[in-house]
């Protein structure tokens, strides 16, 4: 018999997280590593666990995550977004609470591209009138 699992894709900056929720005891594995080893920063761990604490499902699911691209902060945001989406697949009644907390919306801020003939995305060469 196939085990029940709920899937959600999360994205932030250049990171993409594939999140699987399976009924369990609250264990979180990220790229086959323990949660505390992959994210040693306490603030990033708190960001990731926000949707679970908000909905009271932190001890209900084992979470398996594959995350790629970007840095630690972008990856943490992507994982949080993926967990939120997977929770909404599990129970759509959780959506209003998650939406109220601002977890459903993808953060659209990404790095602006460098423009040709200039030093950076916004930086211009010094203007000389004469």
What are the residue ranges spanned by the domains of the chain? 6-100
Q: Strands 15-23 and 28-30: what pairing?
A: unpaired
In this prediction, residue 63 carries a pLDDT of 94
Angstrom distance (rounded) from CA 73 to CA 79: 10
Helix axis angle, 72-90 relative to 42-55, nearest 10°? 10
Task: Write out the DSSP string of the chain.
Answer: -PPP-EEEEEEETTEEEEEEEEESSS-EEETTEEHHHH---HHHHHHHHHHHHHHT-TTTEEEEEEEESS-HHHHHHHHHHHHHHHHHHH-GGGHHHHHHTT-SS-----PPPPPTTSSSSS--PPP---
In this prediction, residue 2 carries a pLDDT of 62
Q: Is the pLDDT of residue 129 over 70?
A: yes
Tell me the per-residue pLDDT of 87-125, one tens digit each, with 9 for 90 and over.
999 999 999 999 999 999 999 999 999 999 999 999 988
Q: Is the pLDDT of residue 1 over 60?
A: no
Tell me the per-residue pLDDT of 33-81, one tens digit each, with 9 for 90 and over.
999 999 999 999 999 999 999 999 988 999 999 999 999 999 999 999 9
CATH class of 6-100: alpha beta
In this prediction, residue 38 carries a pLDDT of 94
More confident residue, 3 or 83: 83
């Amino acid at each position: 018999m196939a085990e029940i699992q709920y899937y959600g894709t999360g994205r932030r900056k250049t990171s993409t997280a594939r999140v699987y929720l399976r009924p369990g005891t609250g264990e979180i594995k990220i790229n086959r590593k323990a949660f505390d080893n992959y994210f040693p920063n306490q603030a990033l761990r708190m960001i990731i666990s926000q949707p679970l604490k908000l909905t009271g499902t932190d001890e209900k699911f084992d979470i398996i995550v594959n995350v790629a691209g970007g840095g630690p902060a972008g990856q943490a945001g992507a994982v949080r977004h993926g967990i939120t989406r997977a929770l909404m697949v599990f129970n759509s009644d959780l959506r209003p609470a998650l939406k109220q907390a601002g977890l459903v919306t993808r953060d659209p801020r990404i790095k602006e591209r460098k423009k040709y003939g200039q030093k950076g995305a916004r930086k211009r060469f010094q203007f000389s009138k004469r």
